Amino acid sequence: MFVFPIVVHTVDEASPEIPTGTKPVVKKEPRIVGGKPASMEQFPYQVLIYIYTHEGKHLCGGTIIGEQYVLTAAHCMFGITADKVEVLAGHINRSLSKENWIRLSVSEIYVHEDYLMDKVYNDVAVLKLHERLSLDGKRAASLKLRDTEVSSDVRCTVSGWGTTKEGGSVSSILQYIDVPIVDRHTCSGQQKRPLYDGEICAGYSSGGKDACQGDSGGPLVCDGYLTGVVSWGEGCARQNKPGVYANVAWYKEWIEKRTVSLNTEGPPSTISVVPDNPNPDEPDKTKTETETDKESNGAINGFTNGIVVLSFITILTYLID
């Protein structure tokens, strides 16, 4: 089973040591599979997150949920300090220089205190930004948190810069796909472990469309509300293996307690989402942007070459070396 930690990219840094008893298994994994290129006006709430360790620069996704807050996956931030994280907003092209983006530093990282790394459970984290974002709705916008359970078969949108197939490389342009919510009982029976409270599934029984390596922490949006956080999956876009997401409605109270004056009431966002019908070492400051942006397999928090088996779950990560 691949934990979607699909949103992790590594660029050049070191990752915390693997906890005693875990055994890494080397293997690659991909990004948004079966998707289409996005436009900025469709996804102003999406951010690109770089996590720096001595092994390189890791990539994850995240969602703006307020002027000063971003929601992402706990597996992207576990064991990471705020000074090792950079948030980029306001663009969809990862290959452009950072001057084209809104660059944001992080002051605080709130990883769910009951996050279980071996099971990838309670996989949510909140980032507090040093600066407040100007939410103009064009280059930056926030999404409201869903506070009710989403029904099966509702079509939702997931987006990210992850790989487009298992074993592939990450995308330069933000990709998105439309996927239906899968009944919990059905999904639980298709996974290598039963679903826990706080998890939902989305995907097609036929496979072909899914989030993947490098998409971790990114948004699953249903009816204009932030409904899920890309968490894990068994491979990418496989038949009868829907992706698993942290259920935002389940964690809404936890999220709100870690944010200040976060407006989550009122109607859903009017943003147009177009469906398809352990402290790491300091980064190496001497490396150039070109050197650190080379894409390769890597690791974060001990997840080497894209995948690590924690108990019976495989986590997908991506390193931009």
CB atoms within 10 A of CB 81: 12
Distance (Å) of CA 118 to CA 20, 24, 124, 276: 11, 12, 15, 34
Cα four-point dihedral sign 95, 97, 100, 102: positive
Asked whether 306 and 316 are in contact (CB, 8 A), the reply is: yes
- Classified as helix, coil or strand, 190 is helix
User: Which residue in the list 123, 215, 293, 321 is annotated as catalytic?
Assistant: 123
β-strand partners of 244: 201, 232
Q: Please indicate whether residue 272 is annotated as part of the active site.
A: no
Nearest-5° Cα angle at 206, 25 to 75? 35
User: Which residue in the list 9, 15, 58, 75 is annotated as catalytic?
Assistant: 75
CB atoms within 10 A of CB 231: 31
Q: Please indicate whether residue 216 is annotated as part of the active site.
A: yes
Place of tokens 């001057």: 99
User: Which residue in the list 15, 216, 231, 269 is annotated as catalytic?
Assistant: 216
CB atoms within 10 A of CB 174: 25
Q: Please indicate whether residue 15 is annotated as part of the active site.
A: no
Instruction: Indicate which residues carry an active-site annotation.
Output: 75, 123, 216
